[in-house]
A and B are shown apart, each in its own frame.
Chain A
Amino acid sequence: MTSLGIAQIALFYVLILVCVKPLGAYMATVFEGKRTFLHPALRWLEVLTYKVMGVKPDVEQRWTQYTASLISFSIFGFLIVYLLERAQAYLPFNPQNFGTPNVTPDLAFNTAASFITNTNWQSYSGESTFSYLVQMAGLTVQNFASAAAGIAIAIAVVRGFARQEQRTIGNFWADVTRATVYVLLPLSIISALFLCSQGVIQNLKPYTTVTTVEGAKQTIAQGPVASQEAIKELGTNGGGFFNANSSHPFENPTPLTNMFQMFLIFLIPGALTYTFGRMVGDTRQGWAIFAAFSVMFLIGVFVCYGFEQAGNPILGKLGIQTASTAGQAGGNMEGKEVRFGIANSALFTTVTTDASCGAVNNAHDSLTPIAGLVPMFNIMTGEVIFGGVGAGLYGILLYCIVAVFIAGLMVGRTPEYLGKKIEQKEVKMAMLAIIATAVSILVFSGITSVIPFAKNGYWNAPGAAIANLTNNGPHGFSEILYAYVSATGNNGSAFAGLSANTPWYNLTLGIAMLMGRFLFLIPLLAAAGSLAAKKKIPVTSGTFPTHGPLFVGLLVGTVLIVGALTFFPALSLGPIVEHYLMQSGRIWS
């Protein structure tokens, strides 16, 4: 690790830290329906949206109605994306004439499921598959919508803790509209313009063919990238306009845009902790969660950075320099860009998998084994280290329920969190969410590792499901495991050596995304509904304080132990065994 690298990580963390309070307080005001400084400019748009929908924003919903609205919102999003994809050949903004054969029904299903769940897993390669219309009206829109829905759900869950003896948890349509109009849209406009000013492209032209200096032809992909790039990071979506995502120079041209993109990824998840504290009437509660996020983030980033800087000893033996010097970065540069080097690649990898973003600025598949374990484990925690916009907050609140439950068991008291008794129903719902995601990951990975298919058959033309791998041995298993972890965790990054554009992978990964999103958040909304109906208990000397270091430690411990207990066997078959084999110089054909 270099001092410049550590300084950049520190700078990034400070940038996030200083934005927590101002943005968090602003969002609390927005979701309480109060007037903000942006109302003179944007209130008309909010009102217009309600009119179009025909809803009254102040009519509150019970958790079941809130959930029904969310599901309706998601289903219509799914249908629109699916139809746009399948019909792209007949629609405008398609200068490259991408046809429908590119987009099979299973790919269209996978992509639609991916973008409505805020996963943005990509079985396709953007620059050779989708028209500009699909990218804009299909994918960019879902980037906003799935992010706004995530924020809405988080706010609803927070209301469950903040209220007492009420049957409702807010209005879904109002929450989604406010998240879009007052938070996502203004920040996206500013960010898109800034990114374009630094070199991210934004045009509707056909691809440009140039004659290179040595006389060869090079065709350069174009497109409306900046407008999608901004919300891709801000909404922790992560679906790249191009196949190479944020390592592509047109998506992420400079180290400055790179830092800016990472900042956008953590901005809202970080600030929502303050919004939470504000809404439950005790900002210390929010800071405790922010502290837990920070501890887990910093552990991950330095483990990843350390192992990447150490590099690949097998290449070291061949004579490739692995130590950093003044004129070159050293470390493991396979899959990385020179402008980002080791530190910014390791930081981006950790940030994008802590938050359920899934944008990548380096090839995760080429990470050294333990550095590759870090993003995998980050997602396995359920994306609760900052997490996706909204999803991180409601995810960590679920772990708070589990943590106080465990603490309650240890001292033999009924657990409480924020003055609410945590009883059978809440704990059951929390466990249901954790188990549903673990089942999705482990069962799908297990089946895929062994399932045979006929070669050139419908389900998986290459043959058995493991024929789609680029790497063999433990790293091949890591590719499969990472895919289902990423889909279930709604992350979307990949060990991209896995060729996932076949009906088997498209369908199973799509189902994993839907399970990971909806089987996680529906139990949580149910818990929120039941919590909102409860009375608050006054704080006594026997109350376990949930704002101090003891609780932060307990929460971090709970997240890490639940993740480790569930996934250690799978991880030991993949990255852990590969690490030791790499040290001994073993390679796989």
Chain B
Amino acid sequence: MWQQILPGLRLKVFMTVLLGVIYPLAITGICQVLFPYKANGSLIESGGKAIGSELIGQNFAKPWYFQPRPSAAGNDGYDATASTGSNFGPTNQNLIKRVQTSIEKFRKENPDYTGSLPADLLTASGSGLDPHISPASALAQAPRVAKARGIGMDEANRLISRFAEKPDLGILGEPRVNVLLLNLALDREYGGR
């Protein structure tokens, strides 16, 4: 019987070295050489300091910035060490209340937008770190941002359409706008606050 059992120990130790140490370290080495920007988290720098990751959403509350979706990650949202969704089911009162509060806040902050509310804008993402909003959600905030910055609506809309990404390869996924990149462009073109 030992003949059937002992190889298990030897194989597991061998696999731990090969697949648990050599394989991931080799991949790390190759990726650090070939794709250093991506492998290290697609970090965006400004003035020599990292200000965020292109792929990770961050909080924006000021009226002159486009705002991301609600986030359940961490206490204040967009905590990139605590990714999570709300895990509220569709009949959970907490979900309904949270959405109601968000709607009231949105309507108050965006009095000039009277259209309907895009599905993604006031719902929380699964990761809590969603870097995107839909183009419709960006357009819904455009009047507020334009007013706060003293720029024309056409300026704001032009910027949104410049940053609206189409589905990958023309077919995969959804059209979307990266909130961080859009806001950085705003600061670049019309000055930071």
Could you tell me which A residues sit within 8 Å of B by CB distance?
4, 7-8, 11, 49, 52-55, 61, 65, 68-69, 72-77, 80, 125, 127-128, 136-138, 140-141, 144-145, 172-173, 176-177, 180, 185, 188-189, 192-193, 196-205, 207-208, 210-214, 216, 218-222, 224, 226-228, 242-244, 247-250, 253-256, 258-259, 311-312, 314-315, 318-322, 325-341, 344, 360-363, 365-369, 470-475, 478, 495-497, 578, 581-582, 586-589
With a cutoff of 8 Å between Cβ atoms, the chain A residues found around residue B13 in the complex are 80
Q: How far is the CA of A334 from the CA of B59 in the complex (A)?
A: 18
Q: Which residues of A contact B85 (CB under 8 A)?
A: 244, 247, 334-335, 362-363, 365-366, 496
B114-136, CB < 8 A from A: 116-136
Specify which chain A residues have a CB less than 8 angstroms from the CB of B176 in the assembled complex.
Answer: 338-339
Given contacts A61-B4, A68-B1, A365-B89, 13 further A-B contacts (CB under 8 A): A52-B11, A72-B7, A210-B49, A221-B83, A227-B28, A242-B83, A256-B172, A314-B96, A332-B123, A336-B120, A339-B176, A344-B174, A362-B85
A347 CB → nearest B CB, Å: 11
Q: What does DSSP make chain A's interface, helix, strand, loop or mixed?
A: mixed
CB pair B89–A366 under 8 Å, yes or no, is yes
Interface residues in B6-55 (C-beta closer than 8 Å to A): 6-16, 19-21, 23-24, 27-28, 30-32, 34-35, 38-43, 49-53, 55
Interface pair A211/B19, CB less than 8 Å apart = no
By a CB distance below 8 angstroms, the chain A residues around B167 are 4, 255
Within 8 Å by CB of A201, from B34, B39, B86, B118, lies B39
- Give the residues from 64 to 78 in chain B that come closer than 8 angstroms, CB to CB, to chain A: 65, 69, 73, 78
Cα A551 to Cα B149 with chains together (Å): 68
A226 to B119, CA, bound (A): 31
Residues of B within 8 A of A216 (CB): 58-59
| A315-B14 contact given A8-B172, A335-B87, A336-B126, CB 8 Å threshold | no
Q: Which range holds the interface residue count of chain B? A: 35 or more
Interchain CB contact (< 8 A) of A185 among B23, B42, B59: B23
Interface residue from A188, A259, A367 paired with B172 (Cβ < 8 Å): A259
Query: Chain A contacts of B78 at CB under 8 A?
Result: 218
What is the bound-complex CA distance between A322 and B121, given in angstroms? 12
Most chain B Cβ neighbours within 10 Å, of A185, A216, A244:
A244
Per the bound structure, the CA–CA distance linking A361 and B129 in Å amounts to 12
Some 19 contacts from A to B, beta carbons below 8 A apart, are A8-B171, A52-B11, A54-B7, A72-B5, A125-B84, A137-B21, A199-B38, A199-B55, A224-B27, A244-B84, A247-B127, A256-B172, A314-B90, A318-B100, A320-B123, A338-B176, A366-B126, A471-B89, A586-B91
A224 proximity list for chain B (CB < 8 A): 24, 27-28
Residues of A within 8 A of B96 (CB): 314-315, 318, 587
Contact A221 B81 (CB under 8 A): yes
A69 touching B5, Cβ below 8 Å? yes
Tell me the complex Cα distance, A244–B34, Å: 27
Q: Which residues of B contact A334 (CB under 8 A)?
A: 85-86, 88, 90, 95, 123-124
Chain A, residue nearest B20 (CB): A137
In the complex, the answer to whether A248 meets B39 with C-beta atoms within 8 Å is no
- Considering only CB atoms, which chain A residue lies closest to B129 in the complex? A249
Q: A221-B80, A321-B117 are in contact. Are A312 and B90 (CB under 8 A)?
A: yes
**In the bound complex, how far is the Cα of B82 from the Cα of A210, in angstroms?**
16
Contacts of A205 in B (CB 8 A): 40
Of A73, A200, A322, A333, most B-chain CB atoms within 10 Å: A333
B34 to chain A, nearest CB (A): 7
B88 touches A254 (CB 8 A): no
Question: In the bound complex, do residue A212 and residue B58 qualify as a contact, i.e. CB atoms below 8 Å apart?
Answer: yes
- Smallest CB–CB gap between B5 and chain A, Å? 4
Instruction: Report the separation of the CA atoms of residues A376 and B85 in the bound assembly, to the nearest whole angstrom.
Output: 19
Contact A219 B80 (CB under 8 A): yes
Q: Which 7 A-B pairs have the closest CB atoms?
A: A255-B173, A327-B136, A137-B20, A72-B8, A497-B87, A363-B85, A244-B83
Closest to B62 in A: A214
> Which chain A residue has the least Cβ–Cβ distance from B98?
A334
A228 and B136 CA atoms in complex are apart in Å by 35
Contact B93 A588 (CB under 8 A): yes
- Which residue of chain A has the shortest Cβ distance to B180 in the bound complex? A213
Inter-chain contacts of B118 with A (CB < 8 A)? 321, 327-328
- B132 to chain A: which residues have CB within 8 Å? 337-339
Whether a CB of chain A sits under 8 angstroms from the CB of B60 is: yes
Contacts of A227 in B (CB 8 A): 23-24, 27-28
- Where the two chains meet, the residues of B that have a C-beta atom closer than 8 Å to any C-beta of A are 1, 4-16, 19-21, 23-24, 27-28, 30-32, 34-35, 38-43, 49-53, 55-62, 65, 69, 73, 78-93, 95-96, 99-100, 103, 116-137, 139, 167-169, 171-176, 180, 183-184, 187
A341/B60 contact (C-beta < 8 A), A242-B83, A243-B82, A333-B123 known: no
Given known pairs A68-B4, A197-B35, A214-B59, the reply for A80 and B16 (CB within 8 Å) is: yes
List chain A residues, Cβ under 8 A from B19.
140-141, 144-145, 180, 185
CA distance A163 to B118 in the complex (A): 60
Q: Is the CB of B91 within 8 A of A578?
A: yes
Contacting residues, chain B, for A242 (C-beta < 8 A)? 83, 127
Most buried by A among B9, B42, B184: B9
Specify which chain A residues have a CB less than 8 angstroms from the CB of B173 in the assembled complex.
Answer: 254-256, 258, 339-341, 344
A144 to B65, CA, bound (A): 45
B134 nearest in chain A by CB position? A328
Q: Is the CB of B28 within 8 A of A202?
A: yes
Contact A254 B34 (CB under 8 A): no
A69–B84 CB distance below 8 A: no
Contact in complex: B91, A196 (CB < 8 Å): no
B123 to chain A minimum Cβ distance, whole angstroms, is 4
> Least Cβ distance of B57 to chain A in Å?
8
Evaluate contact between A497 and B89: CB separation under 8 angstroms: yes
Q: How far is the CA of A226 from the CA of B53 in the complex (A)?
A: 17
Find out whether the CB atom of A327 lies under 8 angstroms from the CB atom of B91. no
The residue from A172, A249, A497 contacting B55, defined by CB atoms under 8 A apart: A249
